[in-house]
A and B are shown apart, each in its own frame.
Chain A
């Protein structure tokens, strides 16, 4: 399986670490809503089809990516930096010859 890192380009899946369901929302740090915390820590979607996932390019640039992957076909539909921002000077599509 190949995942296209927005910085490094397409790389083999062995360079990546799965970092969980990308649909989770972390409650505000001071929140005392245990249900919300419980949902964040334990509840996971397990769709047969397109799934929002977090992957870290741990064996490359180490950026975390938001990946949409089809869990049936393993097709990677999109990848983007989890952390916004680094686009102008670094966008691979702009600068690569």
Chain B
């Protein structure tokens, strides 16, 4: 009985940390998007938008390397994209955290499941399938 109770307590702690992690990820990444957006608007005040036709080749920030390069030169749209990148990584960080917590609980089946999800996302992250 005692061990069951302890496990439940663990679960509660994990849920609390998990919730905080998700919220922090959203707040931080959205703040970055907001800052980048302000810089972008100041710089592109007079420009005209045109999104009628999908032109992926015009997107300068479609790779992680490209985004970092743009952030270093302080371009607003690159900072927005960096914030979006952080937002994308928030649920991924959540999986990493879940793997650790299941490891502590010695629930190896779910450690494995966590790694499978990470592997699936990594495959797409490498762009192996997309180019």
A, B from the same assembly: no
A residues sitting closer than 8 Å to B (CB atoms) are: none
B residues sitting closer than 8 Å to A (CB atoms) are: none
